[in-house]
Amino acid sequence: MSNGESERWWFNLKTHEVEPDDGARNADRLGPYDTREEAARALDKVAERNEAWDNDPDWNDDKLED
Taking phi first (over 0 means left), then psi (-120 to 50 degrees means alpha), and beta for anything else, what does residue 37 get? alpha
**Mean pLDDT per 10-residue interval, the chain, length 66 residues:** 71 97 92 97 95 85 58
- pLDDT of 22 reads 92
The pLDDT assigned to 3 comes to: 54
H/E stretch holding 20 reads: strand 18-20
Task: Tell me what pLDDT residue 1 has.
Answer: 47
